[in-house]
Amino acid sequence: MRTGQYILVVEDEPKIREGLQDFLEFHGFCVTGAADGLAAERLAAERRFDLILLDLMLPQISGEQLCLKWRQAGLRTPILMLTAKGQEKEKIAGLDLGADDYITKPFSLEELLARIRAVLRRTDPTRSVGQAFAFGPFTVDMERLTLADDHGTTALTRRQAMMLQVFAANPGRIVTRQELYEAVWNESLEGIETRTIDMHIARLRDLLDQAGQAAELIQTVRGEGYRYDVC
Ligand code: CA
């Protein structure tokens, strides 16, 4: 089953990179490989990833330099570093530079998968998109609470903006009502009617429609939740 989550694998050893790519794709991730720091930099600037798997020892720009650069530039994508045995100092430095976790080579693929899932679980599902992000043809601004395109600007409530942020952080993936509720209302859905969420979604679709765009951007997946179809 596809997770709809995007991983950038930065590793100069072709065999390791391709092995990781195959393994993660098998487990439902969409994977892009980068053979060096410059390629990784370019890819991360071009599009959004849910997680970056970053080897420390790379030609041109090292993993540490890259991590530092990204964090200084405000990139918030979770970073899992790949280190070699005995690089204790580097590991600690890596965490100081803003990596979320590290794993020591040689590692088992199952362990790597568990670490990736743990990092994805504990990182805020919306942090990868930041304070201003694209939603279909719109730009959503979390500070001003606006939905804007070439034709105009529509005001959003904080909850509406947060719902859009959750969808934007999970393109193509089913977002359950429970997930929405936890992310936006910061509570568990227990004891709350799911109708509440559905009403908020209906209102959001009205807004998208009035702003001149397809309410179809947010699809209902019967019995499961909603899905943001980027198309
Ligand atoms: Ca390497």
Give 36's pLDDT tier (boundaries 50, 70, 90): very high
d(CA 159, CA 15): 45
Ligand 1 centroid – CA 39 distance (Å): 14
Distances (CA, A) of 45 to 16, 65, 113, 134: 24, 16, 25, 14
| Protein residues within 5 Å, CB atom, of ion ligand 1 | 12, 55, 57
List the structure tokens of 137. Answer: 């043809």
Ligand 1 centroid – CA 10 distance (Å): 9
Asked if the model's pLDDT at residue 164 lies above 90, the reply is: yes
Neighbours of 194 (CB within 10 A): 14
d(CA 4, CA 174): 9
pLDDT of 223 reads 85
Is 186 or 155 the better-scoring residue by pLDDT? 155
Distances (CA, A) of 189 to 69, 170, 174, 202, 205: 39, 20, 17, 18, 22
List the structure tokens of 163. Answer: 């719902």
pLDDT 10s digits, 78-96:
999 998 867 667 666 667 7
Ligand 1 centroid – CA 87 distance (Å): 13
| Beta partners for residue 34, in sequence order | 10
Give the residue carrying structure tokens 């209902």.
220
pTM over 0.75: no
Ligand 1 centroid – CA 181 distance (Å): 41
pLDDT 10s digits, 94-145:
677 788 888 888 899 999 999 998 888 777 666 667 778 889 889 999 888 9
Ligand 1 centroid – CA 73 distance (Å): 24
Neighbours of 37 (CB within 10 A): 21
Ligand 1 centroid – CA 79 distance (Å): 16
pLDDT of 218 reads 93
Ligand 1 centroid – CA 101 distance (Å): 17
Domains for the chain: give ranges and CATH numbers.
6-123 (3.40.50.2300), 127-228 (1.10.10.10)
Ligand 1 centroid – CA 59 distance (Å): 8
d(CA 30, CA 109): 17
Give the residue carrying structure tokens 């080897």.
55
pLDDT of 126 reads 66
d(CA 168, CA 187): 21
Ligand 1 centroid – CA 16 distance (Å): 9
How confident is the model over 64-90, as a mean pLDDT? 84
| Beta partners for residue 229, in sequence order | none
Ligand 1 centroid – CA 124 distance (Å): 29
Neighbours of 15 (CB within 10 A): 8
d(CA 82, CA 101): 9
pLDDT of 108 reads 93
